[in-house]
Amino acid sequence: MVELKTDTSIDEMYAAGQVVGKALTAVREAAGVGVSLLELDEVAHQVLRDAGAKSPFLGYRPSFAPTPFPAVICASVNEAIVHGIPTKHRLRDGDLVSIDFGAELGGWVGDSAISFIVGRPRAADVRLVETAERALAAGIEAAVVGNRIGDIAHAVGTVCRGAGYGIPDGFGGHGVGRRMHEDPPVPNEGRPGRGLPLRHGMVLAIEPMLIGGGTDGYHAAPDGWTLRTDDGSRAAHAEHTVAITDSGPRILTAR
């Protein structure tokens, strides 16, 4: 069931989204060669504490997971696509890092992700990250009243496929509200004009995930959480929580 949010609720979700944006900015600024993923998790955790917010990630355990998630960020490096668990791994020059983060404030959730390169970037990685951001922007542009979920999916997929990248099947965006994952699902590929009509008050997480090698294959790592590319190529992930409004899409996790 899709819950339509009131304008007041969307404003409250914006407050949660600003905590998310602040944390992702802080994590990106703290990331550098030699910094561990656990240290980045602590940076994000401190932002939550300072804001009086909670983590919807910490302790989260969907049906596929062997254990509850043990951190407040997902930290996916290089060939990891999403859901990476922060460890003592220290970042190396040229690592491609994707950070996914959520915050719950006042009973509402914000969810967003960024990808960036530590140290000296490779041209191929720069293009991959820039394409993820372009795909996200295209999806947001399609998130208007009168369009359908398929229009968002088509916009995202067109950018990803047009650049020659793969898309992990079965993973994409979702509704956001009192819970991190709500209806409806928002695929990263689809046909325009299909699916649920977009209405004022819908709030969606739009999140392209790109596989650099061009194939769609992925597998779960031994930790049961991290998804990795089958071909060993690098991956990128970008995400914003977006409200559908009569005046156009409103990004609630703007940074």
Average pLDDT, the chain: 98
pLDDT, tens digit, 9 for 90 and up, residues 107-135: 999 999 999 999 999 999 999 999 999 99
pLDDT, tens digit, 9 for 90 and up, residues 140-199: 999 999 999 999 999 999 999 999 999 999 999 999 999 999 999 999 999 999 999 999
- The residue assigned the tokens 């979920």 is 149
Average pLDDT over residues 189-217: 98
Nearest CA-CA partner of 90 in 25, 45, 31, 28 = 31
For residue 46, which amino acid is it? Answer: Q
User: At CA 165, angle to CA 163 and CA 169, rounded to 5?
Assistant: 135
pLDDT band at 64 (very low <50, low <70, confident <90, very high): confident
* Predicted pLDDT of residue 223: 95
* Predicted pLDDT of residue 35: 98
How many helices and strands, by DSSP H and E, does the chain display?
4, 13
Average pLDDT over residues 132-139: 98
* Predicted pLDDT of residue 23: 98
pLDDT, tens digit, 9 for 90 and up, residues 3-57: 999 999 999 999 999 999 999 999 999 999 999 999 999 999 999 999 999 999 9
- Please tell me the distance from the alpha carbon of residue 210 to that of residue 198, in angstroms, as a whole number: 25
SS3 52: coil
- Please tell me the distance from the alpha carbon of residue 230 to that of residue 244, in angstroms, as a whole number: 35
* Predicted pLDDT of residue 128: 98
Nearest CA-CA partner of 242 in 210, 202, 182, 208 = 202
pLDDT, tens digit, 9 for 90 and up, residues 162-173: 999 999 999 999
Average pLDDT over residues 85-107: 98
pLDDT band at 73 (very low <50, low <70, confident <90, very high): very high
Q: Torsion angle, CA of 32/212/255/157, rounded to 10 degrees?
A: -170
pTM: 0.97
Is pLDDT at 217 greater than 90 in this prediction? Answer: yes
* Predicted pLDDT of residue 121: 97
Would you state the CATH architecture of domain 7-251?
Answer: Alpha-Beta Complex (3.90)
